Structure formats: C-alpha cells, structure tokens
Amino acid sequence: MVEADPLPLVVRDLSFQYRSRTEPAIVEISLELHPGEIMLLAGSSGCGKTTLLRCINGLIPHSYRGKLSGEILLYGQSNAGMKLAEISQKVGTLLQDPERQILGSYVLNEVCFGLENLGLPREEMIRRGEAALERLHILHLRDKETFGISGGEKQKVALAGVLAMQPKILLLDEPLASLDPASAHEALHLFRELADQGMAIMLVEHRVEDVLTIEPERIVYMEDGRICFHGDIQGLVQVVDYHRIKLPAQVVVERAKAEPQPNFEPAVPPLDTNNPLIEFQQVHFRYNDDAPEVLHNINLKIHAGEVIAILGHNGSGKTTLVKQALGLLKPTKGKVFLEGVETHTLTVAKAARTIGYVFQSPSQMLFAPTVKEELSFGPKNLGFDQETIARNVQWAIETVHLEDELLTPPLALSFGQQKRVSIAAVLSMRSRILMMDEPTAGQDYWNYQAFMDSILQMPGFDSIIFITHDLDLALIYANRIIVLNDGVIVADGKPVDVLQDRQKIKQWRLVATSLLELNFQMYPKTGKFLRAEALAQFMD
C-alpha cells in the first residue's frame, strides 16, 4: 500500500497564551489544510486568528513568547525544530499592517529582499521580483521609494515580496484591508488561481462577503480563541450570527425579517452652508520638485452637518487630500482654509484643536505604555482638566468596546484592536471635526458598525470625514460622497446620485456590492440608503 503524500499543514490541539496576557489567545485548535485549497479563517477582532498564523509561520515562539502546546506539521515535519529561515521557504506570510513588513527603501529592493537572503543570483531575483509586480499590476511602481506610495500600494508590494518567494503554503492576514474594491477582487482571483495551481492558502479576512465570491473550499469561524464552525459556505450563512459576519445583503434580509431592528439616526448638527469649516481653493500638491503632481486643482468646501466618505483607488490621493486640511502637508499651489484661517499659517498643534485625525496605520500613532495613557495623551496636551480627561477616556474606550484593555500595552493588542485604540485616542480629544483614514481596516463587522453608530449618534462633532474602500460603509453612514481618481475630484454629492452610474463606478475602481444593488431596488419604497437589516422591514 502506497502512503499518501503528507498534507501541507496539520494543526493538532494547538493552544497558546502570550506571556503578557492572563488568558490564552487560542485553545485546542485542530485543522488540516490540503493542496489546492483555500481556507477562510473568520471571526471577531482579537479572537485568535493572527495568533494561529504566527504559530504556523514560526513567529511563535521565535518572536512572541508565551505558553505553547500542541503540534504543527508542515508537509509531515514538525515546525517546532525548524529555524525561521527554513519555515519561510515553505510558508509565505502577508502581515496585516504593511508598515511592519516593508524594510526596503525602493519597491524592487523590497520585493527581492527575501530572495537575497536565500542567496539567489541577481538575475533570478530581478526576474522573480518583476514577475510578482507584474502579476499584481504594479510593475509601474518598480523604482519608486516605498515611503512615497499609498497604504494600499504598500499592501500590494508586501504581497509581491511574498509571492516572489514561491511558497507552497500562503498565509494571508487581512490582505484586502487596504485595497480598493477592484484591487481586492483582482487579489482574490489571484488567490483562487494560485490555489487552482496547487498552493495551499489560509486566508484571514473580515470582508467575508467578498471572499465568498471565489468559493473557498472550507471556512473556519473562531470566537474567544476556539473554533466554533468548520464547514462550507452554505453551513456558514445558516448558522453564523449575521450581526458578527458580513454576509450577502439578500441573506441578511431574509434572516432579519423575523427580528425587530433598532432605528438608527445620526446626531450630526443641521447642515450649515454659510461658513465652511474647511475650504480648498485650487489646490495642487506634489511631494517634491521632481515628483508628479498627486492633487490637481482641488476646489472643495466642507460644512457643519456633513458626514463625508472619500472614495478612490489606491494612490488616488485620498490621504494626501485630508492631510492638507490638518496642515500635515502644505499645498504646492493654492490655499487651504480651516475655519477661515489659512493652514499655511497654522501649526499642526493648533489645527488639532479643531480636527482629530486617525492615521491609516495604528503603528504610526501608538506609543504609550498602556491604553489608558494613550487615550489621555491628546486631551492632556490640549489642556483639559483631570475630570474631563477621565470622562473623555471612559467615553472613548466604551465607544470602541475595549473597556477591559485600559491597562494593556497598545502594541500587545491585535491589529484590529490597535486600530480601535487609535480611533479612541482621537475621540478622547473631542475635536469638532473627526477625520478617519480607513477606520474599518482590520475590524470585524459587529465592531465597526457598533463604533460607527456610537460616533454618529454622539452629539459634539460638527462634521465627520472618513476615507474608506468599503462602499457599504459609505452608503450607510455618509450623507455626501467624494470620489478621487488620479488626484482629481470626479464626483461629489449625495450617495444616491454619485453611485447610480455603474459604468462610472467601474471606471473609478469601485465595485457595486449586493447591498448597493438591493438599496437601489428598494429606493422607491425607502427614499434613502439603509443597512441590510433595516431593509428587511420593507420587503414583502
């Protein structure tokens, strides 16, 4: 009798508890990953998904210390005795935060970094690196400096570096988090293609509805460090709480019909178009004299009472645009005014009294030894008294549902939890204008809805502006959508007006979602865009 080839990955009774934590991160995890298979690993932020990947790729116990038990086999061999370099030739990993994965100064150097460590000839490294960039449609970034590209472009560069290593097992931790909708779908179809060619893929992702389009062979759902569901797509949509996992809109509507749904009304003040809070006048911007322009002739007014979603493809200039308002960047040509004062004359510290800005990557913000100190830092520097600081910190931490983590070091938390801490750190300052860059990146469906609801139902903000690649987030929460394309504002208006032309949506590298389509079908009845649960009451 011929023995079957060993499976790419076998996990048996795996448990791990971080040295800095009082509870285990994962408990008795057992699963198998087969060649040519995509396994979707889903669950709320902090449920143990990233910890499981760290155990598989050797970062636990080599880089993260704690109590580890159980067994992991890579092609029949235990990874316990392997060095990281040995594991990395079998297992490729894309981290949640590309800022933590990118080391090289230039894109091609970064993509070839792992190959250089393997001692490959220069010609082979360049061939593999360029092939990986080409496969992800970013060969035009080949010679760019990594610090000058967008967050989504960094995510693609990090993925190119992993693919260039030609691993047999691919671990993907939130690979879609920073990608525009079209890039996300291209990446998903690439993963499907790689799996069909024999690669074994474990994919951690909160954008479950998107992943379902490539029909993963198996789905594992985790809660509190344990596997709660292990099966196929049909099993998932029937048993998993649709409040926790974002399922297709029609599925949610059918399941929500029998349940009473809470009414959601934002608490932003009435629209005031007389005195703009922020105004852009013919703004152009380039990062240096030799670089091409990133923003072209931007004319824009932002008023009290507006909840604005800024959409656009990776590298379209979204983050560059909002940084102009805060004064982190100054226009190359043109003017930006904050409450009537030109930002060129303002310090960032003065602007921060009006605008609270949440960076795209939490690693760019977090530094304090505890979450509580992190949240206290901003209001303390703004001169708030101790009672006000304590009240603001409590409100902010409750808004992001991390009350139990006040004494935890922020960088000891999961990426999704770090993102929520960075949002809370800005909320605690109670600025009049709240700006958030990708607020839902790394967030599970329940958490991102809960904190967005809390933010919009809490009086105090004159205007809320958020950059997002999540079209559903924009249509549910925004009363105005701005679309950037190659540094130009190509659309600006009410969601129903901006999103009705499917051809333009496609040109802007957005993708019409099941919720958008259902909302347009129901619009004659509803008169506004609603979340799927709320649409259930209008169905016959």
Identity of residue 410: P
Pairwise CA distance, residues 268 & 305, whole Å: 5
pLDDT at 152: 86
- Mean pLDDT of the region 361-381: 92
Would 117 be classed as within a structural domain?
yes
Q: Is the pLDDT of residue 370 over 90?
A: yes
Quote the percentage of the chain above a pLDDT of 70.
98
Pairwise CA distance, residues 523 & 484, whole Å: 26
Q: Are 266 and 457 in contact (CB under 8 A)?
A: yes
What is the band of 501 on the pLDDT scale with cuts at 50, 70, 90? very high
pLDDT at 1: 39
pLDDT digits (tens, 9 = 90+) for 286-333: 998 888 999 999 999 999 999 999 999 998 999 999 999 989 999 999
pLDDT digits (tens, 9 = 90+) for 7-60: 999 999 999 999 988 899 999 999 999 999 999 999 988 899 999 999 999 999
Pairwise CA distance, residues 190 & 194, whole Å: 6
pLDDT at 78: 95
Would 64 be classed as within a structural domain?
yes
Pairwise CA distance, residues 397 & 41, whole Å: 27
* 70 and 191 housed in the same domain: yes
* 157 and 191 housed in the same domain: no
pLDDT at 50: 92
* 102 and 225 housed in the same domain: no
* 268 and 308 housed in the same domain: yes
Would 457 be classed as within a structural domain?
no
Retrieve residue 99's tokens: 């800022």
User: Up-side HSE of residue 384: CA atoms within 13 Å toward CB?
Assistant: 21
- Mean pLDDT of the region 93-120: 88
- Mean pLDDT of the region 279-291: 93
Q: What is the CATH number of the domain that holds 217?
A: 3.40.50.300
Q: Which residues of 242-269 are buried (b: 16+ CB within 10 A; e: fewer)?
A: bebbbbbbebbbbbbeeeeeeebebebe
Entry pTM: 0.88
What is the band of 455 on the pLDDT scale with cuts at 50, 70, 90? confident
The mean pLDDT value of the chain amounts to: 91
Would 134 be classed as within a structural domain?
yes
102 versus 337: which is more confidently predicted? Answer: 337
Would 328 be classed as within a structural domain?
yes
* 302 and 224 housed in the same domain: no
261 versus 63: which is more confidently predicted? Answer: 63
Would 252 be classed as within a structural domain?
no
The parent domain of residue 20 ranges over 1-90+169-240
Q: Strand 218-223 to strand 38-43: parallel, antiparallel, or no bridges (unpaired)?
A: parallel
pLDDT at 141: 94
* 106 and 86 housed in the same domain: no
pLDDT digits (tens, 9 = 90+) for 490-499: 999 999 999 9
Kindly give, in sequence order, each residue whose CB lies less than 8 Å from that of residue 92, ignoring residues fewer than 6 positions away.
162, 163, 165, 167, 169, 170, 171
* 269 and 335 housed in the same domain: yes
User: Up-side HSE of residue 359: CA atoms within 13 Å toward CB?
Assistant: 14
pLDDT at 242: 86
Q: Are 349 and 520 in contact (CB under 8 A)?
A: no
* 107 and 84 housed in the same domain: no
Collapsed DSSP state (helix, strand, coil) of residue 91: strand
Q: Is the pLDDT of residue 146 over 60?
A: yes
Collapsed DSSP state (helix, strand, coil) of residue 483: strand
Measured from the Cβ of residue 340, the count of other Cβ atoms closer than 10 Å reads 9
pLDDT at 99: 79
pLDDT at 2: 42
Q: Which residues of 18-37 are buried (b: 16+ CB within 10 A; e: fewer)?
A: beeeeebbbbebebebebeb
- Mean pLDDT of the region 352-369: 89
* 521 and 479 housed in the same domain: yes
Q: Cβ-count burial of 458 within 10 angstroms (0-12 exposed, 13-18 middle, 19+ buried)? A: middle
Would 371 be classed as within a structural domain?
no
Quote the percentage of the chain above a pLDDT of 90.
68
Check the CA dihedral 337-338-341-342 and report its sign: negative
User: Up-side HSE of residue 159: CA atoms within 13 Å toward CB?
Assistant: 30
| Tally of domains within the chain | 3
* 161 and 177 housed in the same domain: no
Q: Is the pLDDT of residue 351 over 80?
A: yes
pLDDT at 151: 83
DSSP track, 220-260: EEEETTEEEEEE-HHHHHHHS-TTTS---HHHHHHHHTTS-
User: Up-side HSE of residue 320: CA atoms within 13 Å toward CB?
Assistant: 27
* 1 and 84 housed in the same domain: yes
* 183 and 155 housed in the same domain: no
pLDDT at 234: 86
Would 290 be classed as within a structural domain?
yes
